[in-house]
Structure 1
Amino acid sequence: MMETKKSITEVGVDDIIKAGLSVEEEAKEFYRILKETIGEAKGLDPREVWRKVVDNRVLKPWHPHGVHQLVYYSVYSHWDSSTKGPPLYWFPSLHESRRANLGRVMEIHGPKLLGTEYKDPIKSFSLFQKFSVEHPEAYWSIVLKELSVVFHEPPKCILDTTDKSKPGGTWLPGSVLNIAECCLQPASHPSKKEDDVAIVWRDEMDESVLHHLKLKEFREQVMLVANALDTTFTKGDAIAIDMPMTVNAVIIYLAIVLAGFVVVSIADSFAAKEIATRLRVSNAKGIFTQDFILRGGRKFPLYSRVVEANSCKAIVIPVIGNDVGLQLRNQDQTWIDFLSSVNHLPRPNYYSPVYQPVDSLTNILFSSGTTGDPKAIGWTHLSPIRCSHDGWAHVDIQEGDVYCWPTNLGWVMGPILLYSTFLCGATLALFHGSPLSRGFGKFVQDAGVTVLGTVPSIVKAWKSTNCMEGLDWTKLKSFCSTGEASNVDDDLWLSSRAYYKPIIECCGGTELASSYIQGCPLQPQAFGAFSTASMTTGFVILDENGVSYPDDMPCVGEVGLSPLLMGASDRLLNADHDKVYFKGMPMYKGMQLRRHGDIIKRTVGGYFVVQGRADDTMNLGGIKTSSVEIERVCDRAEESIMETAAISVAPVDGGPELLVIFVVLKKGFDGEPDKLKMKFSKAIQNNLNPLFKVSFVKIVPEFPRTASNKLLRRVLRDQMKHELSVRSKI
């Protein structure tokens, strides 16, 4: 990260040349425009100076990143975050705020709901967020009409809290629907017509072609697959998907839900052991997969991993052409043979949806716990309503938007992306290939993507390789980021690609089907920070004794969530839900708080920054995993090892967490950290996930432990944080 002690008024032509505008005439012209803009903002505080710079488009997406750094860090060179809160980079206008989904609804309903306290969507946002927490029935009755949610039988009410055995209440009781059908049918509000483009996509190997699938064709393809599922499986069966997030994967996902089956989500990066665990826990009766994964012209095996994992029926889709590129087992079936099973039907492209009570299971997703086996979390028809609401309210997904987010149906972001797009009336943009390539960036440009989701690791790679140079991303109205902590300088680079559009930070959980803290287009935004609790979400920050800090006080502590969250889990397939999320949590205003596990900091000015996990779950490259899982693999990596302890720490300047392995060696053995690092990385990538990498190995004589012999990973984490802090100052 570039650091500058010069204030913006002290920056000269030489600084601009040094920052990357190497042609002197160009640097002089930039300096002239910059000085003119600063003159307009004379005497204003740095936030207003930066706002002027952005509004006047002084900085262009094609300017070298060094120039963007020079201006941003110079504007905020004497900014004291400890007294003023984080520096802000994006500010909503009143005009834009009234056109946002949430702002439009506030303008219509705000005066009635908030009375004379209502001013406008920007000034009254915090008040309206608080209202949504205290009056969820009133809020949801408005918002449900804004989404493409159609009930076969309407709910008796919004929320029933009479059953005290359900701390999260009963949401939309008595309602019956099929949430997949809601994604596929035309609608008047939000407007979805039969010939609207539902999905736009491109194959990595053919950068000249954009494919479009219209809503009518999309629905017919989903219904064809739903009919084929009925010929192969029994109602209620769990059916896995383990493949990249392609058009076919999306069609299969919605077909499984439409036909009353249950999706089992498995990421395509998992090793065979991890696939086997998820198939076993979910009791899956079948799995959709591909023969290979294609990345950068190279083929990587996928079907062979599925075969190694389990003997359940696999339906195999070829990555290229119509023929699978390998021999299948007897019980398995090619995609073409599977689809041909409905040829005898008079209307194979028509399917009558299976309508279910709103709390029926539709999807089993997995989130790593601290006990080894991943937690199997059940999504119902409620969960998509919740997550698409977040897309509607916070990301501001509107009809006509083109929404792209490189992810996978094995991670919670896959279903969130799918439902948020279709229930808000937008177009889903899919790239069949690596998101790290320039080809992906060209797809974003050519497809006219308006909202681009990312994880910080991807942004870091784009910035470091400079692979997006020369592409036009100015159609983007916003970015989103989730999965891990964002780095301020990487976010500066990303936002600058589209004239400093906002990056909506999202932090939540698979079990919440949503975010509990987010950015919002009705509030100023700060890089790497969250500006608000999400709509209808109440939470407190707890001190070490479980006592909540006052709501307006800057502090650091564990999050305690209000239990009344529509769409949040009320069951786990393989663990005690109450024990995992409620046991031991304090009471607050007569309700037992729900555990999430994050440690967060509330800044001056009311912004939030995630500080890590309260338990020993870690976040590596946007993937949550447990210390226990990693330690099991590392303990077996080398005969000299007595035991290992895995922790993760954030770099001093922010960004994705680093994996650190502490090692105690057996007596009489010596070890070299670099050699162990290579062995651990190989073992983890082969047995857990090829995306994980070890950053440091530390050999120690013994581990710190409690009186009852429990390993104190927190102490090791603090030691490593201190060491990294010292290194950064050298």
Structure 2
Amino acid sequence: MVHTDDGLFPAPNTPGAAWYPSERDLARSRLLRFIRAHGLGSLGELHRRSVQDPEWFWSEVLKDLDVRFHRPPERMLDLSRGPQWPRWFPGGVMNLAHNALDKWLETPKQDATAFVWEGDDGEARRYTYRELHREANRLAGGLERLGLRPRDRVGLFLPMIPETVVAMMALAKAGAILTPLFSGFGPEAVASRLADCEARFLITADGFYRRGKEVSMKAIADRAVEQVPSLERMVVVRRTGSPVAWDRHLDVAWDEVLAMGTETYETRRTRADEPFMIIYTSGTTGKPKGAVHVHSGFPLKAAQDLAHAFDLQEDDLLFWVTDMGWMMGPWMVYGALWLGASFLLFEGTPDHPHPGRLWELLERHRVTLLGVSPTAIRALMGKGEEWVRRYDRSSLRAIGSTGEPWNPEPWQWTLQVVGEGRAPIINYSGGTEISGGILGCYTILPLKPCSFGGPLPGMAADVVDEEGRPVRGGVGELVLRAPWPGQTSGFWQAPERYVETYWSRLPGLWVHGDWARLDSEGFWYLEGRSDDTLKVAGKRVGPAEVESALVSHPAVREAAVIGAPDPVKGTAIVAFVILNDASAATPSLAAELAQHAAGLLGKSLKPQEVHFVPEIPKTRNGKLMRRVLRAHYVGEEPGDLSALENPDVLQAIPRALGRGA
């Protein structure tokens, strides 16, 4: 078994771990094969060499993942412009679609499953690599005949349907730049992103199905494009067949575009550092940030993380509960296809038409790797474990999780009930600008509840204090000391904002904005966003720690914590909780919960106020939007709300605070 020796990773025999790898996990591990193939004795050794000699490491990763270049790079890395602006694989020519599709046409893989789709109503379809290649060729050729040019920006405002994947591949083949948009956005959110990147094309649908009901998209798109002067054509997929407004000068049917193309299309030979995607992330203030990603960056990082942390291989079926407008959607598609694996695309929701829909999907499609947020797990826990146990989950090999910190109870429930004690929870955290993870877990190392096993190979992660000095045992800023291929190439038309966001606080360090802790056994923990961090009477605590204390009370289902100005302590802890039984909400229970948290964390960290709410503001991919709670509490503007999944909460928060709607 691999061992570790530098304190950044847990040892294989760590006492008290909740999960240990089996001989089968070790025998199939491609990461372990990679370590041994290079004569290294530990994951720690691999990580150390990967950050000390990145050109060696990424050269070997390219070989291991069989990444194809039309023209090989002159070298691996050029840092002449500094770590903020690295040039990876300079001189190299390659296209992500060639590595996702074209190269498999030379092998028996062409007839293997690329992805499976299931609609909200249960309809299912299977697409082979050959079929996806054929449809992507037709669309790429059709779009070019419609006027698409290399480097044109194209908005993708689509639900999770097969045409979404076809479009992603076709745009890469044509050398265009994709801008994926969350399927639940309103017209203003769609318009602001399309206008920012000056999109010429938008691909959308008439609508889609969610919880058995039809949701309109074309009407939203029509209102959005009125505000986007650069937009010239809108391609419309007929998903529901419902009547929609039609502008013959602007709109064109998807099938008509396909008919313009042919099954043969020569994928454009783009530079390795050519942009292929602008994906927007919501900021606390100001307009969303357009993270720019290149052909040799985002897909490579996604594939490497899936290979090294999740052990995704060609016989696996990956299913991440997400939307294509969030990073994990493109991450799933590009990463799986680069590795020659398969993925499941799901239009519906995990609890419709019954609370066991997610587990039914695992059984029906034999999913081997499930990705789900802690928020989704907490919601499904409330439906009862009998819904999980009625479905066969024997195919499940690992469970991925990202988006927010875990609480111990749902983590244990996921491990024991969903994973039957054998499928590890691969906790994974990074971001849209990262192209994947900074920290992850490994199928070859033990797990402790809510923890990370360590930094991903190639990621020079550290925990530091306000001066940039390493912190061990305490909470500090999560930083990166060196660049990596998936690093965003800046924000679209806003390079200064990119530098200000990540590189301005500590010279030469990427400051990610998360509080992290590395314990004495080599396990890592995230304690929430550093801009959410609470400093109470001189003591610093992450909101997740207080939230876990509150959730450990049997009356509490979920909790979110913010800091509010206090004249004595500097910051007071204010908690918002969802009860298992809403009728139990009383002032005495609020006092009891505050005391319960104080008993676990200490008197100085006792919540000053506890408010009962029916729901907590979250993004569609499950992240808590604590800034929305804080803005309401202190009377400030909440910033960009386009990612908010549950807008009704905006009326519920003032009522909980006794301020009316």
TM-score by length of structure 2 reads 0.76
Q: Secondary structure at the match of 2:463?
A: strand
User: Quick one: structure 1 residues 373 and 650, their matched pair in 2 at CA, closer, same or farther if it must change by over 3 Å?
Assistant: farther
Q: Does 1:185 align with 2:102?
A: yes
Partner of 2:316 in structure 1?
Answer: 401
Q: Secondary structure at the match of 1:97?
A: helix
Letter matched to residue 581 of structure 1: Y
User: Quick one: structure 1 residues 533 and 700, their matched pair in 2 at CA, closer, same or farther if it must change by over 3 Å?
Assistant: closer
Q: Secondary structure at the match of 1:138?
A: helix
**Map 1:471-550 → 2, pairs under 5 A:** 471-496=391-416, 497-500=418-421, 501-549=423-471
Partner of 1:559 in structure 2?
Answer: 478
Partner of 2:243 in structure 1?
Answer: 325
Write the distance in 2 (CA, Å) between the matches of 1:659 and 1:555: 20
How much does 1:137 deviate? 2.1
Letter matched to residue 578 of structure 1: V
Write the distance in 1 (CA, Å) between the matches of 2:635 and 2:351: 41
Write the distance in 2 (CA, Å) between the matches of 1:615 and 1:693: 10
Write the distance in 2 (CA, Å) between the matches of 1:261 and 1:651: 44
Give the root-mean-square deviation of aligned CA atoms: 3.5
Equivalent in 369, 373, 376 of residue 287 of structure 2: 373
Equivalent in 106, 116, 119 of residue 203 of structure 1: 119
Write the distance in 2 (CA, Å) between the matches of 1:702 and 1:408: 32
Contact 2:439 2:455 in 1 (8 A): yes
Q: Secondary structure at the match of 1:414?
A: helix
User: Quick one: structure 1 residues 293 and 94, their matched pair in 2 at CA, closer, same or farther if it must change by over 3 Å?
Assistant: same
Partner of 2:86 in structure 1?
Answer: 169
Write the distance in 2 (CA, Å) between the matches of 1:397 and 1:214: 18
User: Quick one: structure 1 residues 582 and 204, their matched pair in 2 at CA, closer, same or farther if it must change by over 3 Å?
Assistant: same
Partner of 2:278 in structure 1?
Answer: 364
Q: Does 1:652 align with 2:566?
A: no
How much does 1:617 deviate? 11
What does the per-residue CA deviation read over 1:533-552, in whole Å, with 9 as the maximum and x for residues that have no partner?
11111122121333222xxx
Identity %, equivalent residues: 26
Partner of 1:337 in structure 2?
Answer: 256
How much does 1:226 deviate? 0.6
Q: Secondary structure at the match of 2:160?
A: coil
Letter matched to residue 369 of structure 1: G
**Map 1:261-340 → 2, pairs under 5 A:** 261-311=176-226, 312=231, 313-320=233-240, 323-330=241-248, 331-340=250-259
**Which segment is superposed worse, 607-616 or 473-482?**
607-616
Q: Does 1:612 align with 2:528?
A: yes
Contact 2:281 2:289 in 1 (8 A): yes
Letter matched to residue 530 of structure 1: F
- How many residues end up aligned between the 2 structures? 552
Q: Secondary structure at the match of 1:182?
A: helix
Partner of 2:67 in structure 1?
Answer: 149
How much does 1:557 deviate? 0.6
User: Quick one: structure 1 residues 127 and 184, their matched pair in 2 at CA, closer, same or farther if it must change by over 3 Å?
Assistant: same
Write the distance in 2 (CA, Å) between the matches of 1:159 and 1:690: 34
Partner of 1:121 in structure 2?
Answer: none
Contact 2:532 2:626 in 1 (8 A): no
Partner of 1:442 in structure 2?
Answer: 360
Equivalent in 29, 54, 78 of residue 100 of structure 1: 29
Contact 2:305 2:456 in 1 (8 A): yes
Q: Secondary structure at the match of 2:267?
A: coil
Write the distance in 2 (CA, Å) between the matches of 1:256 and 1:199: 18
User: Quick one: structure 1 residues 187 and 222, their matched pair in 2 at CA, closer, same or farther if it must change by over 3 Å?
Assistant: closer
Q: Does 1:413 align with 2:413?
A: no
User: Quick one: structure 1 residues 192 and 573, their matched pair in 2 at CA, closer, same or farther if it must change by over 3 Å?
Assistant: farther
Q: Does 1:226 align with 2:140?
A: yes
Equivalent in 8, 14, 18 of residue 89 of structure 1: 18
User: Quick one: structure 1 residues 695 and 509, their matched pair in 2 at CA, closer, same or farther if it must change by over 3 Å?
Assistant: closer
Q: Secondary structure at the match of 1:212?
A: strand
Q: Secondary structure at the match of 1:475?
A: coil
How much does 1:257 deviate? 0.9
Letter matched to residue 548 of structure 2: V
Write the distance in 1 (CA, Å) between the matches of 2:618 and 2:520: 41
TM-score by length of structure 1 reads 0.70
How much does 1:605 deviate? 0.8
Letter matched to residue 183 of structure 2: D
Write the distance in 2 (CA, Å) between the matches of 1:511 and 1:613: 15
Q: If you compute each CA radius of gyration, which structure gives the higher value, 1 or 2?
A: 1
User: Quick one: structure 1 residues 286 and 473, their matched pair in 2 at CA, closer, same or farther if it must change by over 3 Å?
Assistant: same
Q: Secondary structure at the match of 1:583?
A: coil
User: Quick one: structure 1 residues 363 and 192, their matched pair in 2 at CA, closer, same or farther if it must change by over 3 Å?
Assistant: farther
Partner of 2:388 in structure 1?
Answer: 468
User: Quick one: structure 1 residues 700 and 596, their matched pair in 2 at CA, closer, same or farther if it must change by over 3 Å?
Assistant: closer
How much does 1:701 deviate? 8.7
Q: Secondary structure at the match of 2:520?
A: coil
How much does 1:340 deviate? 2.9
Contact 1:292 1:299 in 2 (8 A): yes
Contact 1:433 1:440 in 2 (8 A): no
How much does 1:338 deviate? 2.6
Write the distance in 1 (CA, Å) between the matches of 2:623 and 2:239: 20
Write the distance in 2 (CA, Å) between the matches of 1:557 and 1:490: 25
What does the per-residue CA deviation read over 1:42-76, in whole Å, with 9 as the maximum and x for residues that have no partner?
xxxxxxxxxxxxxxxxxxxxxxxxxxxxxxxxxxx
Q: Secondary structure at the match of 1:403?
A: strand
Contact 1:556 1:600 in 2 (8 A): yes
Letter matched to residue 59 of structure 2: S
Q: Does 1:109 align with 2:109?
A: no
How much does 1:432 deviate? 2.3
Write the distance in 2 (CA, Å) between the matches of 1:335 and 1:376: 27
What does the per-residue CA deviation read over 1:236-262, in whole Å, with 9 as the maximum and x for residues that have no partner?
210011122221101101111111100
Q: Secondary structure at the match of 1:652?
A: helix
Partner of 2:340 in structure 1?
Answer: 425
Write the distance in 1 (CA, Å) between the matches of 2:618 and 2:394: 38
Letter matched to residue 260 of structure 1: G
Write the distance in 2 (CA, Å) between the matches of 1:407 and 1:226: 25
How much does 1:153 deviate? 0.3
Write the distance in 1 (CA, Å) between the matches of 2:239 and 2:77: 45
How much does 1:168 deviate? 5.2
Write the distance in 2 (CA, Å) between the matches of 1:351 and 1:585: 47
Write the distance in 2 (CA, Å) between the matches of 1:360 and 1:279: 20
Runs of 5+ consecutive residues of structure 1 not aligned to the other structure: 1-80, 119-123, 343-347, 587-591, 619-646, 665-672, 704-730
Contact 1:681 1:694 in 2 (8 A): no
User: Quick one: structure 1 residues 185 and 657, their matched pair in 2 at CA, closer, same or farther if it must change by over 3 Å?
Assistant: farther
User: Quick one: structure 1 residues 515 and 691, their matched pair in 2 at CA, closer, same or farther if it must change by over 3 Å?
Assistant: closer
User: Quick one: structure 1 residues 457 and 701, their matched pair in 2 at CA, closer, same or farther if it must change by over 3 Å?
Assistant: closer
What does the per-residue CA deviation read over 1:407-450, in whole Å, with 9 as the maximum and x for residues that have no partner?
11211111110111111111111222112333332122111111
Contact 1:270 1:690 in 2 (8 A): no
Q: Secondary structure at the match of 1:601?
A: strand
